[in-house]
Every structure is written in structure tokens, then in C-alpha cells.
Amino acid sequence: MQGRTARTAWILAGGTAALTLLAATGAHAEGRGDIRVTKTVVNNGNNVIVGTTKRVTYPIAITIRDNSGVKGLTHVDVFNKTNGWGFSDWVDTRCAKSSSTTSVCTATMTIVPAWLPDSQPEDVDHAAGVWQVNATVKANDGDYWISDRIAEFKMKRASQLTTDAAPEPVAKGSKLTITGKLARANWEDLKYHGFTGQIVKLQYKKAGTAHYSTVKTVKTGEAGKLTTKVTATSSGSWRWYFPGTTTTARIVSTGDAVKLK
């Protein structure tokens, strides 16, 4: 899709992915000769997190082997494993030879959130979740292989999390109210909306110590709001921790330090 307009590229990504996924149900790979993909790593093994404004670029490192040596990649496609929709643009590929028969070809993928609204015939948020990688590889002797589902990874919506502890300072033995809000990116309107019904961990670190520990778990309410009360026994910092879901990124809020009177 390199060289196309941004909006057209996104729409074609979804349509191509759907057709590829349907074709893949009949055969997981096809081609000619002994060329094969032996390993694929997406984004260095990390989830791909997409928010509402920042361009996201991530690599797909594909290890390819053939007796004659590797010529390169002729196609790379990524999309949601369940519904077949995708929106990553393949913008560059560089291959590095590791031996006479093996090369690692790294495809660079990019996502610009501004292109997401109306890029698919359904709510684009449905594209979050488990994705798969398809690729076509070619050897120096003309061998080729169309490889379906050579890797799976998670494409997630970015999240935000806040913490506020009050009153500050607090008397020892008094109640401290910890509030916050969990929100996640909406790819339809490019805004963050409260994420309700999620289990979030309240964590505490005593002043002078290095690590947080979980005190309790709380479920987010309306608009993703969090609130709970604890007894203040010492000075320290409080924070919320959300472990994430299949579609939404994990996040840890900034700690709020509270001193005793």
C-alpha cells in the first residue's frame, strides 16, 4: 500500500485482510520450492498499542530460509484474527543476511490514528484484539511461499489512569480516600472514554521503600471512576494498576505521595 493516499490505504487494508482470511481457511500456506519462514517476531515481542493522536510504528522481523538464499518479502499483511479487519500500512522492508541460506527481513508497519475513523464498515474499535501476520517470501532461485498466520500478536487500545489521595496531609489512623479514573482510546472519535466494570488494583509503597504492593482491588464504576477508603498508618505513595485486557493496554498511574500530620 506504499504510495497510496492515507484514507485509501486504510480502507484497502481492511478489505484485503478479509479476503486473505477467507482464502486462508482452505490452506495455511502454498508456494513452490524449499523456501520457508522459520520465525516471526512482531514489535520485539510486545503488544502494539494505539492511542488517539500519536503515529505508531512497529517492526515485524521475519526469518526466511532457502538453499539458494533469500531475495526478500513481496507481501506482508496484518489483521484481526477473528473478524479479518486491519489498519496497518506496510511502509518499508530491510533484509539482513545471517548466512548463505538465511536472512531476516524486517517489515516496518505504521498506524496514524487520524486515519482510523470511518476506515472500516463497522466500529473500528472491534479491530482491537488478537491479530495475525501473513507474508509472501521469495528466494533467489524463484522459489516462493505464501505463509498464513506466521505469527500472532495483540493490537490494543491505549489506556489512561489517574490517582488522587485526599486529604493531604492526613492524621495517622484517619481515613484516606483514594480516587481515580480509567479510560481507554476510542478509535471512532479519537477521544478517551471511561472504561467501566474493570478490576483495578490499589497499590501502596511506604515512604523510604522501593516497591509497591497491592492493598485491594476495586471495580471501575460509571465513566471508569474509582473510589475507595483506606486507613492511613504511615507516610507513603498510592497508585492504581490496571493489568489490561485482550483489547486494552495495561497501565500504572503515577503515584500520589501522602504524608502524615
pLDDT tens-place string over residues 7-49: 333 333 333 333 233 233 333 568 999 999 999 999 999 999 9
pTM, whole model, 2 decimals? 0.87
**Predicted pLDDT at 6:** 34
What is the maximal distance between C-alpha atoms in the chain?
Answer: 77
Neighbouring CB atoms inside 10 A of 45's CB total 8
d(CA 29, CA 131): 17
Confidence category of residue 1, pLDDT binned at 50, 70, 90: very low
Question: Three cell numbers at 244?
Answer: 489490561
Same domain as 139, residue 15: yes
Residue 196, number of CB atoms within 10 A of its CB: 13
How confident is the model over 79-116, as pLDDT tens digits?
A: 999 999 999 999 999 999 999 999 999 999 999 999 99
What cell does 13 get? 487494508
CATH number at residue 83: 2.60.40.3880
Residue finishing a domain among 156, 181, 209: 156
The helix/strand/coil state of 98 is coil
> Using CA atoms, how far apart are residues 143 and 123, in angstroms rounded to an integer?
40
Grid coordinates of 207: 515512604
Q: Same structural domain for residues 148 and 186?
A: no
Which residue, of 117, 132, 156, is where some domain finishes? Answer: 156
